[in-house]
Amino acid sequence: MKKRNFAVVGAMAAALVTLSSGTAMAGTNIINVYTTDSTPGGLGSFVANGDLTQVCDAQEDGLSAVAYLRRWDGPLWKTVTVGGYGNCKSESIDIPEGQRLTLTVCLRKNGADVFCSTKGGGVA
């Protein structure tokens, strides 16, 4: 089961990188933010070209994956949630140029966020 989950997470990560491999003229991408559980059940990315937030549910564990895109100093820009093993979801929002960003990816269990991981450095 673990090897299968790693293969699925690897495939999803490759898909996110492929989707985001276009040149980000207006900013910097945040690629492959994984949840902190032992075999990551969720992963996400931010693609500056199109201000696209992406999240994938990488485990058949009954939990949903959620991504929070925030301005570096705190205000929330976008939340994207997806459930169901192997599913991914992408949403875009128009963010003013030059905004420094962080992306947090969590699993949602009984209405609470668990196994969260944050990566910064993106610029819209």
Q: How confident is the prediction along the chain (124 residues), in pLDDT tens digits per residue?
A: 444 444 444 555 555 544 444 333 347 999 999 999 999 999 999 999 899 999 999 999 999 999 999 998 889 999 999 999 999 999 999 988 888 999 999 999 999 999 999 999 888 7
Give the pTM.
0.80
The region that residue 86 occupies, defined by phi over 0 for left and psi between -120 and 50 for alpha, beta otherwise, is: left
From 43, 96, 92, 90, select the one nearest 71 (Cα to Cα): 96
Residue written as token pair 């040149």? 23
CATH code of the domain containing 26: 2.60.40.10
Give the span between the Cα atoms of 77 and 75, in whole angstroms: 7
Which residue segment(s) compose the domain that 114 sits in?
2-123
Give the span between the Cα atoms of 66 and 35, in whole angstroms: 10
Give the per-residue pLDDT at 19: 45
Give the per-residue pLDDT at 105: 98
Q: How many residues does the chain have?
A: 124
Give the span between the Cα atoms of 43 and 58, in whole angstroms: 7
Read off the DSSP letter of residue 75.
-
> Which H or E run includes 49?
none
The total domain count for the chain is 1
